[in-house]
Amino acid sequence: GHSSCGDTGCVCNDGFTGAGCDTCVAGRHGVMCNETCVEGTTIDNTCVCTPYYAGPDCDIECKSANGAICAGHGTCMEGSSNDGTCKCVADWYGADCTTWCTAYGCMQAHGLLRAECNPTTGVCECPPHWGGSDCGDCSDPWWGPLCDNPCLCNGHGSCDRLTGTCECYKYPGEWQGTQCDACADRFTGQNCTLRKVCTTEGAILQPILIDPITGNVAPVTSYSPYGLWADTRAGDGYIYTGGNPLVAWGTQRPQDDLTILDTTSPVSGVLKKMFGRGGNVYMVMSPGRVAPTQLVSLQPVPRPPTFGKGKPFENAITEPLSQHSTSDLVAAYTNDSVTALFYSMLIGNTRTLEARILGCTVLGSVICASGSATIPVGVECLAAGGGYVFMAKDSWEIVRMRWSVGGSNIVFGPVEAVVGSGGKVTFMEAYGVDGVAAVVTGRTEEYLVVAGGRMKVTTGGVDRVTAIAIDETLSSIFVGISRGPDPGTLHKISLIPSLPTRDITYLSHLPVGGVLLPETIAALYVDSPTRTLYALISPHSSITIRTFLLWETIAVYPTLVDTTGGTPVTVTGNGFSEIKLGEMIPGSSSGVLSGAECRWKPQGVATQGVITSQTEIVCLSPPIDSEGCGDVVVDVSMDGQRATQCGVTIGHGLSASVSTVEPSRGLYSGGIVLTVHGERFENVPALACRFILGCGAGQLGPILNPTTCPTPCPTYSNITIAVGTQWVTYISPSEIQCIQPILPSPGPVTLDVSLDNCQPAVHPGSFLALGDPAGLKILSENPLEIVAGAETRLPEITVAVVDGNGSALMELNWVRNRPVTVSLPGNTTQVHGTLTAFTDVNGTATFTDVLLSQGTGTAITLLFTEALSNWETTLDVRIVAGRPSKLVFQTQPSDLAEWGGKPLYTQPALSLQDVFGKPVESSPVDYAVTCSIDSDIPDPDTVQKTFTAAVKTGQSVAQFSGVGFTARFGVVYRLVCASKPRLEPAVSQSITSRDCHLYQHRPLNETMCVACPEGGECDGTEVVVGAPGYWRSNQTTVRGFSRCHVKAGCEGGVEGNCSSGYTGVLCSVCETGYAAGFEGCRKCNIVGYFVLT
């Protein structure tokens, strides 16, 4: 089969060889021998690879690195049946086995809690089901201790790693339920992306007929309306619907029914456009194909008391809009200062756009300005805004022309393309200066096209758009959609491109004749001044006008308020705006509108509201009965009469109470988690931990909320609020956790817990906010008392790093391993030992071996210094006495004893001293002190005499009284005092007898004074001297004085008896060198003398 016959025999086909042409030639292989064997040998039609090549054609070379196949860390899968890849040994990865990886190495290198190596690349990665920066968390969608349980959140939420509890997604689409399998409240749609708006209905106005003669009332059963406009500024107001006939309706309270006031329309036909301004009403009517389009202008008259007899059309002015054929396209634009009418006519092959400025007179349509322009022939829809006229062409394109007023002319700009509509435009409304919204019908569905894009509003079948209206205040468009046999729906869609479009509300069935019939929204009208949406509902041949409030409530914050009231409550919603005083509510007979307010049910209380934006209004909560059950419903009114009925509720409760805060201290820079224990905590969004500087417990009042609180607490100004789930975690009614925020400054903080971020706790907690390291402080006893000794080891001294307020940082100090040195200024020897310590992880330096040598004084001051930061602090050391060792006289006794043994003038007092002479200030026990009398000459009268006193425990002095004795003249006495328990005795100073009076002397060893003898002179002591003119033979005697013969010879005194020049008994002999004369001994006057031998 692989050869052909030739002249010489069989000729093998290309690639075959052998006798039977059944073998491949060298370099070929395969069934047909048509495949090349690149790096191998052909054996039996098979390519057998040379070493280190692989693949069917042996064209794959094995990987090599570092000079070796598979870098020497693996085996090449060689051969024709393999692919040439490297099969690496354990811990080696990559195409060429050059990447080393182990799970342990990954954990060490990258700080992972668990890891594995990618089996292909060897890159470190988390094991299956694990994730997070350190592979410590479960990856989505897994949970459990081993992250092996799948989350049951249906792809619409994430689950808690420990419990598996689902946390449902909020966007896109808002879900709820334990498995996130249901749309959240107020959301609907396949993906829960459409939000159900709470649109509160006002009056449901159903028409009746009143017979003007009988007054009988009958319902309107046959009427086909077209168009809707409400006049809320004139009198009690009218509602106009257009059709055939044109009808003016009035509202009658309290029935809230429509009363046909006039059906005598000045012109019949189809209503093309209805608009108005300043009380004037304009209606564009098309009577038929041939007749020109009519403009009807009227100013309604006030209604009389009897309904049904007013004639609002009596003063109508009717005029042709154009003398040409029917104006088939009509648009109007009104604002507070201008009313512009635009209409288009097709004349032959030319389409003309004409314009008028109306209302130059009080009544009528006198043209203030006019203009015209040629527009594309294929225009099928017209809309007018503040700066442009928009046109929809049959080529599914929207174009525009700028218009402006110049004097009496309306000037048009060129045609500009806006957007390709993508279908036939069935409705088109302009808004603002240059905005337009159009409903476009495609092949199977309808779209709403705006400048920001498009969205599908119907999906084909029986659904179709029946009416649209724009609310420029809300930047929203309302779209009415009929649903075939089902009730129609009303959609509210945002015109702001940056916002998601997910608002929808539904109309309900209306009973007609007891049968539920489908509804059709025939027309919509937005009355901005009164924030009212009118919907003309036409089930079959009847008619109903429904009014809806153009504001809604969605939620409140906080969701729980204190029962005492006064909490600012922020109500969020849409469409909040002021309704000016003096404007009338449609259907009301009289009165002036009040301002915005919140209504609280079931309390039946209204509190004034402050509108902060179109989406927020703030009201103060009223006092609420703390015993009441159930939540409080909060509704909002913009005009003091009509209010929402959206069922928004708010809880209420008593104020919380704080018992402990752990930890009780932290850096003012914040970031730590505080566990707060107390009572009456609630799991509400406004649960707040509030850190207050400078306001103590008991001073707290309602705190100024950063945006809403009415008045601040006057007792403090520094407050930092942590509110919201990112700051506060609810654990239980008795426990919450707060993340401490950054505080303004360090210092003592009052930690208040508020349930509504306004009313304070009944009992707040305390917290200490610490600052940066700024100095040192002695934590141990200061001043320190030590017992006097030769050398004393001071007790352990702890020095802490403190902040600027002097608060110890302890473990929060980051200034560590800093040397702190102790010294005694001016004395380098009295303090020794280990004088340096280092700050540790607790922010303290501890001294355990400081020795103090005994010095003089009773107090010293040690200086502790951290030189790197120039910090210092001092420790005062008071040196106190040790145990009592001896008695000392604190007060010495008098040194003179009183006569007659009377008590000494100064009574002695003894104190205690230790062995080093330090006074003992407080005796540890009672001491009995006994003093005896000692004398240098034995005195039998005093030897047995003793005196006693005591030193009581805790005292330091033994005060004596009554100490006295009779002293002998010339004897020295002392008090010798001893104690029990025994202390070293004390000896007093010397005590002698008191001197005698003058002219007396003290005889030695006697106790009585004697008179001074004749011839002697006495000074009260034991000394007696001779008087002048007297002599005694013995100077030691106190008696034996004799009168001298020559008075001048006896001078008296202590030292001698004779005067100079006298001697002998009675001083009667002259001394040598003196000669006796009549006047006594006189000194001889001899110049010289001779001696004869």
Encode pLDDT of 81-104 as tens digits.
Answer: 999 999 999 999 999 999 999 999
Span 196-209, mean pLDDT?
58
* pLDDT higher than 70, residue 495: no
User: 105 — phi, psi (to 5°)?
Assistant: -60, -40
Supply the pLDDT for residue 739: 92
Token pair for 877: 């050391």
* pLDDT higher than 90, residue 796: yes
Supply the pLDDT for residue 589: 38
Supply the pLDDT for residue 408: 81
- Average pLDDT value for the chain: 80
Question: Which stretches of 299-423 are assigned E, i.e. beta strand?
Answer: 317-320, 329-334, 339-347, 350-358, 369-375, 379-384, 388-393, 397-406, 409-420
Distance CA 37, CA 79 (A): 12
Are 885 and 872 spatial neighbours (Cβ–Cβ below 8 Å)?
no
CA contacts within 13 A on the Cβ side of 551 = 31
* pLDDT higher than 70, residue 628: no
DSSP 405-457: EETTEEEEEEEEEEEE-SSEEEEEEEETTTEEEEEEE-SS-EEEEETTEEEEE
Supply the pLDDT for residue 685: 82
Distance CA 92, CA 70 (A): 10
Are 438 and 420 spatial neighbours (Cβ–Cβ below 8 Å)?
no
Supply the pLDDT for residue 714: 37
**Confidence band for 129, pLDDT divided at 50, 70 and 90:** very high
Supply the pLDDT for residue 887: 95
Are 550 and 559 spatial neighbours (Cβ–Cβ below 8 Å)?
no
Instruction: Find out whether the peptide bond into 783 is cis, omega within 30 degrees of 0.
Output: yes
Distance CA 160, CA 158 (A): 7
Q: Which residue has better confidence, 396 or 429?
A: 429
* pLDDT higher than 50, residue 515: no
CA-to-CA dists, residue 132 to 156, 386, 715, angstroms: 20, 55, 46
Q: Which residue has better confidence, 141 or 530?
A: 141
Supply the pLDDT for residue 328: 73
Give me the residue label for tokens 């100090």. 813
**Confidence band for 562, pLDDT divided at 50, 70 and 90:** confident
Span 281-299, mean pLDDT?
75
Least confident of 67-76, 295-304, 485-494, 829-838: 295-304
Question: Which stretches of 859-961 are assigned E, i.e. beta strand?
Answer: 859-866, 871-880, 886-891, 896-897, 909-913, 927-935, 946-951, 957-959
Supply the pLDDT for residue 710: 37
**Confidence band for 511, pLDDT divided at 50, 70 and 90:** very low
Span 8-32, mean pLDDT?
83
* pLDDT higher than 50, residue 586: no
837 dihedral zone (left: phi>0; alpha: psi -120 to 50; beta):
beta
CA contacts within 13 A on the Cβ side of 919 = 10
Supply the pLDDT for residue 91: 94
Q: Identity (one letter) of the amino acid at 539? A: P
DSSP 818-882: -EEEEEBTTBSSSEEE--EEE--TTSEEEE--EEEE--SSSEEEEEEEETTTTEEEEEEEEEE--
User: pLDDT of 708-734, one tens digit each?
Assistant: 333 333 334 567 887 777 889 999 999
Are 1000 and 1012 spatial neighbours (Cβ–Cβ below 8 Å)?
yes
Give me the residue label for tokens 């008593």. 654
Distance CA 46, CA 55 (A): 12
Distance CA 523, CA 724 (A): 45
Supply the pLDDT for residue 96: 92
Contact partners, residue 5, CB within 8 Å, separation at least 6 = 11
Are 160 and 186 spatial neighbours (Cβ–Cβ below 8 Å)?
no
* pLDDT higher than 50, residue 4: yes
User: pLDDT of 132-151, one tens digit each?
Assistant: 989 999 988 899 989 999 99
Q: Characterize 454-478 residue by residue with b for buried, 16 or more Cβ atoms within 10 angstroms of its Cβ, and e for exposed.
A: eeebbeeeebbbbbbbbbebbebbb
Q: Are strands 74-76 and 86-88 parallel, antiparallel or unpaired?
A: antiparallel
Token pair for 47: 């390519």
Supply the pLDDT for residue 506: 37
Span 454-458, mean pLDDT?
70
Q: Measured in Å, how far apart are the chain's first and last C-alpha atoms?
A: 205
Which residues pair with residue 1063 across a beta bridge? 1069
Long-range contacts of 311-315 (CB under 8 A, 24+ apart): 311/261, 311/262, 311/264, 312/238, 312/248, 312/261, 312/262, 313/246, 313/248, 313/262, 313/264, 313/265, 313/266, 315/363
Instruction: Find out whether the peptide bond into 312 is cis, omega within 30 degrees of 0.
Output: no
Distance CA 732, CA 656 (A): 12
* pLDDT higher than 50, residue 392: yes
Q: Identity (one letter) of the amino acid at 894? A: S
Token pair for 444: 């199977």
| Best mean pLDDT range from 284-293, 343-352, 367-376, 792-801 | 792-801
Span 459-477, mean pLDDT?
79
Supply the pLDDT for residue 800: 95
Distance CA 208, CA 223 (A): 12
**Confidence band for 325, pLDDT divided at 50, 70 and 90:** low
DSSP 34-64: -EE-SSEEEETTEEEEPTTEESTTS-EEPPE
Span 579-600, mean pLDDT?
56
Q: Are strands 616-620 and 632-637 parallel, antiparallel or unpaired?
A: unpaired
Span 1009-1027, mean pLDDT?
87
Supply the pLDDT for residue 958: 95
